[in-house]
Structure 1
């Protein structure tokens, strides 16, 4: 895996942890989802530990990708993370809305993404 690809995958994993921690706790199903995505992203236990430490830190924040495909992948993962514990917390919804606004996603794009992800 080249350095940029590794960096993109780490950013994605850190973003998932940030979303998981948005409500102040990280439950068992959220941990399972993060661990599963870590494996799917081709990352190991050391990277998972680093991502969790980042998410627990005072400076934890979403890092938004620049490319359209990366943005779409991030938003899909954020939706899946929000749904992982079965509870859509207000702080999670606000973080999701903020990310969508910063990436200038239209309502139509968001609705399409939600439909596609939650099918």
Structure 2
């Protein structure tokens, strides 16, 4: 895979870590989502560790992508990350709103992204440990 795409995937993971830590802590369900997303992105444990270190650092901040498709993918991932622990903290909501505004994804388009994520999660249902 090309280096720019690899860097883009690393940036996506780092953004998720920043969101996970926005409320000041990271729980088990958030860690599980990060680990799953890391695998989906084709990244390994070293990249996850690096992303966690970045998120815990003083310079931690969302790195907003330039292209529209990647921006929308980031917002969808951020929504799932925000909901991973079952609590939508005010700091998470503000970070999400600022990211969406800075990427100029607002109004109907933002609502479509949110609705799409909710529909995807509803159709996949909760994961059942007995399956």
Give the TM interval when normalised to the shorter protein. over 0.9
The aligned counterpart of 2:46 is 46
The aligned counterpart of 2:101 is 101
- What is the TM-score normalised by the length of structure 1? 0.99
The aligned counterpart of 2:70 is 70
The Cα of 1:106 is off from its aligned counterpart by 2.0
Runs (5+) with no aligned partner, structure 1? none
The aligned counterpart of 2:81 is 81
Deviations 1:50-93 (A, max 9, x none): 00000000100000000011001000000000010010000000
2:31 is equivalent to residue 20 of structure 1: no
Distance in 2 of aligned mates of 1:21 and 1:111: 24
The aligned counterpart of 2:55 is 55
* Residues matched between the structures, number: 119
Distance in 1 of aligned mates of 2:109 and 2:44: 32
The Cα of 1:107 is off from its aligned counterpart by 1.1
Distance in 2 of aligned mates of 1:112 and 1:28: 29
Q: Which has the larger radius of gyration?
A: 2
SS at match of 2:70: helix
The aligned counterpart of 1:114 is 114
2:9 is equivalent to residue 6 of structure 1: no
